Structure 1
Amino acid sequence: MRGGRLRALDGLRLVAALMVAAYHYGGRGGSVTEAWGSSPERQFPTLHGPLSYGCLGVQFFFVISGFVICMSGWGRSPASFAASRAARLLPAYWAAVVLVAAVFALPVVAWDAVPASDALVNLTMLQQPLGADRVLGVCWTLWVEVRFYALFALCVVLPGASRRRVVVFCAGWLAASALARAAHEPLLDLVLMPEYAPFFVGGVGLYLVHRDRRDAHAWGIVAGGFLVGQHHAVRALSNTADPHAFAHRTVLGVVLVVAVGFAAVGAVALGLLDRWNAPWLTVAGALTYPFYLVHEHLGWVVIHALHRGLGVPSAATLALTALGMLGLAWLLHRWVERPLTPWLRTVLTRTP
């Protein structure tokens, strides 16, 4: 097994985040229309179709997450694993919730603020099961991630990670998620996440490939994750039959984007991107999470101010908004994550 930091994976994280941002800014209708003053379809008449595929950045993220969580959980105790995940997620998340809630409460901001009680519930990350309004539009993906962490911790980290245990976990989860889909049982859907399980499973399989590229079981897990994952992605996101769709995502287009995501993480697993080892990729990886948290709603505020307030052209507004959100992400990383992440990890692992 090769060692060292996989900086190319940091770069892929940022690519996935930028895909999602492109979708939120120019690849969908709904609330972003108010930011632009008209449908993004009119703002980007040739680009709105390709930008609509950016929603698949979420599935790309889940493949990367499967790889990273298996790598970081291997050889860790349950307490250390839990502390690591909490310290990684919570500081920037708390800061983003407070910041977005505060901005949306300003009288000059056009969007309605989340009720104060619901905003407080958002600090727990339990707003979705509790039925509270979400402060961050992207937080639903964090709820998916947290459930994946819990499954992985219970089935792999708690008994002790080993290749055999990981293989059984992946095969069992993939099969159980398919049965859950057939059963139409809400509780099984909640726990097993049929729509997203294949992407996490595929990412875990790719980490096994990274450890040993000759591992036939690992390659089988990757293939199973891709085949089932693309099926779910096509059913959820292809919409050529909908005459009212903002932009039509074809079956072939969805499958190709999913395949490219798997292939990109696979290239990291096989060492094909080892030459991509520039230090700036580590910075890119560090900015990804805070950027992902704040880019959507605060991005709409910036788009509104630049495009409708100052008359900045659409393309320039799109670029400046993304750059501005990356700048804000750096501030959150520098002044929130850097001091609070190690502190919180130490507090959570301290023996009473």
Structure 2
Amino acid sequence: MRQSVRQPVRSGAPVPAAVPAPRAAAPAGSRRLVELDVLRFVAAFAVMAFHFMAASRSLWDEFPTKLFEPVARLTTLGILGVELFFLISGFVILMSVWGHTVGEFAVSRVSRLYPAYWFAVLVIFIMYRFSGVAGFDPKLSDGEYLLNLTMFQGAFGVGHAGGVFWSLWVELRFYVLVALFSLVGITLRRCLVFLAAWTGLALLAEFTQNETLVFVFMPRQAPYFIAGMAFFLIHRFGVRSGALVPWLMVAAGYGMSLHAAMERVGERVRLIGIARYPAPPEAVVVAITLVYLLMAAVALGWLRWVRWRRLVALGALTYPLYLLHQTVSAVLIPAYRDVVDPWLLTGITMAVSIGLAYLIYRLVDKPGQRWLRARLGALLGRSRRPRRGGGGRASGTAATIPVQSPEASVP
């Protein structure tokens, strides 16, 4: 995420007694949350390890958990790296939208997500159209590739060009919910009501399995977004008497996350067996608990000591790494699996993926974001122009937080 800039609470504005006063705002130029950059890279690396060393039998022509048996109990849990992304996204997106108009939020998200994504779709299209690479081929028509450029292919029942693109469709639906919520004006009280309502509706969707409710309220992903947003409220307003509701939202999200994660991992275990996918329920509980503890540490400021600026680069390359690591593995692993030691080949593939991701960030993603943000900002007809009235800004709590748009945690 980008550096957050916070301003003091406006003088003279009342703070309702039932609402805890926000902690003292950091001065302008407040430090970037480098710890989130580190966690984003940890999440991406976990997903990459899962795909290379636990999930992709077609890459190795045998179950990779047998090839990498010493670490199989860890790599199988790498599937939950996406869930960590969702938690971070809840935190970052609420910070991004707070104090901004819907238009500004849309410009921020579109310019952040699309440049690297368009490049990834183009690379995947060229590779499967004009090379002999077969691994992970989505087998899409030209028109379906074009639809993939919109990122809305999931709405039309069209397959994703990249195997990990499903999570972007989840993220987009989350953004729509947040954008609609921001139309009423984001305050602490309204956030708590929104989170409580979403929790209830997600539970209803899970119990009824109504297609519309599941599509809108995403019961298997909502707990992470809800808890992430609650963690941001804890980070922003601090731990004070009367501030227990965000922690209750975290607790609800944690409980729902355990169910969702065990179902997701359990599906793979049931499909291929515990011997080939050694991820028992207790290991899932430990993994989800660790993920929540890490986010709690961020919210409470316990990781403020993470300040090495070079770590910011890890967060920057995370998105292109997430988008294209499977594509890199489809090229390298089948070509060299018979002549290179699996551990060495995996290390090389990871290194190439990370190096390529950094180049894409510097040459495509970063300039692409800048170009697209400028064009969309011009279309919007204003650049951070103050709004009249309270809609979309933090009114009621008297806590106005102008925040420069953080990078999306998603992947």
Q: TM-score range by the shorter chain?
A: over 0.9
Of 20, 44, 48 in structure 2, the residue corresponding to residue 17 of structure 1 is 44
Return structure 1 stretches of 4+ with deviation > 4 angstroms. none
Match of 1:235 in 2: 263
Q: Provide closer, same or farther for how the CA distance between residues 14 and 8 of structure 1 changes in structure 2, counting only shifts above 3 A.
A: same
Larger radius of gyration: 2
SS of the residue corresponding to residue 310 of structure 2 reads helix
Higher RCO structure (Cα 8 Å, ≥6 apart): 2
* Correspondence 1:262 to 2:327: no
Would you say the 8 A contact 1:96–1:294 is kept in 2?
yes
Q: TM-score, normalised by structure 2?
A: 0.81
CA RMSD of aligned residues (A): 1.7
Give the 5 Å matches for 1:107-146: 107-111=131-135, 112=137, 113-146=139-172
Per-residue CA distance 1:277-324 (angstroms, 9 max, x = gap): 11121100000001000011322222223323xx12111111111111
Q: Which amino acid in structure 2 is aligned with residue 26 of structure 1?
A: M
Q: How does 1:1-352 map to 2 (within 5 A)?
A: 1=23, 2=26, 3-28=30-55, 32-111=56-135, 112=137, 113-155=139-181, 157-211=182-236, 212-214=238-240, 215-238=243-266, 242=270, 244-245=272-273, 246-308=276-338, 311-350=339-378, 351-352=380-381
Provide the rounded CA distance (Å) in 2 between the counterparts of 1:188 and 1:242: 26
Q: Structure 1 residue 240: deviation in Å?
A: 9.4
The question of whether the paired residues in 2 share the 8 Å contact of 1:240 and 1:249 is answered with no
Structure ranking higher in helix proportion: 1
Q: 1:39 to 1:158 in 2, by over 3 A?
A: same
What code does the residue aligned with 1:4 have?
A: R
Q: Relative to structure 1, is the Cα distance of residues 69 and 241 closer, same or farther in structure 2, using a 3 angstrom cutoff?
A: closer
> Percent identity among equivalent residues?
37
**Secondary structure of the structure 2 residue equivalent to 1:238:** helix
Provide structure 1 residue ranges, at least 5 long, that are not aligned to the other structure. Answer: none
CA shift for structure 1 position 115: 2.1
Whether the 8 Å contact between 1:238 and 1:254 is mirrored in structure 2 is no
CA distance in 2, matches of 1:285, 1:243: 34
TM-score (norm 1): 0.94
Distance 1:24 1:243, change over 3 A: closer
Q: In 1, Cα distance between the equivalents of 2:44 and 2:350?
A: 11
SS of 1:46's equivalent in the other structure is: helix
Q: CA separation in 2, counterparts of 1:240 and 1:204?
A: 29
Cα distance in structure 1, aligned partners of 2:149 and 2:205: 30
